[in-house]
Structure 1
Amino acid sequence: MKRYTKPIHVPEVVRHRRVDASLALINVVFLLLLFLLVAGTLKPPLPEGFAWAETTSDTGSSNIQGSLVLTRTGDIWFEGRRLDEQELSAFLHKSAALSDRLAVQVDRHARMEAVAAFADRLRAGRFRHLTLVTIEADRR
């Protein structure tokens, strides 16, 4: 009688590798970098040469998310681009349907006539609460 034999291969026991703590640190740094890149692109850029108007009052607060920008030349910007008259009218009509509040970031060198004319236009169009977004002046 003939015998048939097969070799049996017993696998080597592989020890588990130690958990490397630097991998978690790399993941955290990568996620932080990703967060900073996304957060930096969320705020639309202001027009070139924009200088914030200053105030001496430290009361009040506003959210600049979705606010308009009034430049020194009297132009109105929204989300990093200049609005023409038709786009501005459409924006104001849509915003007035959602809320009676509007925030406007004002350039320091904007003429007061332009600010007053824009405020009158907003008042005529169902906006009851207008917030002029400024920064607090240095008190020296």
Structure 2
Amino acid sequence: MKRYTKPIHLQELKPHRRADSSLALINVVFLLLLFLLVSGTLRPPLPEGFDWAETQQNDGSGKLEGSLVLDRAGTVWFDGEVLAYDDLGPFLEARQSDRPHMVVQVDKRTRMEAVSALADRLKAGGVKRLTLMTVEAGAP
């Protein structure tokens, strides 16, 4: 009687691999990137060439959201769009809840006449308190 043999291939047992910790690192980097993208889009862009006015003391308060921007040419900006002086009245009427207090980001090269004219216009529109937002001198 003739015998036929067939080789049997048994799987080799491989040692169990540890969970790769790079997956957690990828998740953290992705979440950090997502945070930076979202936080960068929350603040409206400032006009090109805007240079913050400086102050020596930090005792004021004001929120950056919903604030106006006054550039060096005396142009008023809101949310990255130019706001004409004629549109300032309807703008203030639309923002009746924030009307008693308004925050203005000021370029340090803005002429005082432009700041005074904007302050007068805001006062005529019903703004009771005006905060000029600046950066602390010597700060990065």
Which TM-score bucket, shorter chain as reference? 0.7 to 0.9
CA distance, structure 2, for counterparts of residue 138 and residue 25 of structure 1: 36
CA distance, structure 2, for counterparts of residue 123 and residue 86 of structure 1: 15
Q: Please, which runs of 5 or more residues in structure 1 have no aligned partner?
A: 1-14
With normalisation by structure 1, the TM-score equals 0.79
Cα shift readout 1:68-122 (whole Å, capped 9, x = no counterpart): 0011111100111211244433221112x11211100011111111111111111
RMSD: 2.3
Shift of 1:17: 6.2
The one-letter code sitting in structure 1 at the alignment partner of 2:102 is L
Q: Does 2:21 match 1:21? A: yes
Percentage identity across aligned positions? 59
Question: How do 1:27-46 residues align onto structure 2 when only pairs under 5 Å count?
Answer: 27-46=27-46
Shift of 1:133: 0.3
Match of 1:125 in 2: 125
Displacement over 6 Å in runs of 4+? none
Match of 2:138 in 1: 138
Q: Please, which runs of 5 or more residues in structure 2 have no aligned partner?
A: 1-14
SS in 2 for 1:115: helix
With normalisation by structure 2, the TM-score equals 0.79
Shift of 1:37: 1.4
Match of 2:5 in 1: none
Match of 1:114 in 2: 114
Question: How do 1:83-94 residues align onto structure 2 when only pairs under 5 Å count?
Answer: 83-94=83-94
Count of residues in correspondence between the two structures: 126
8 A contact 2:89–2:125 mirrored in 1: no
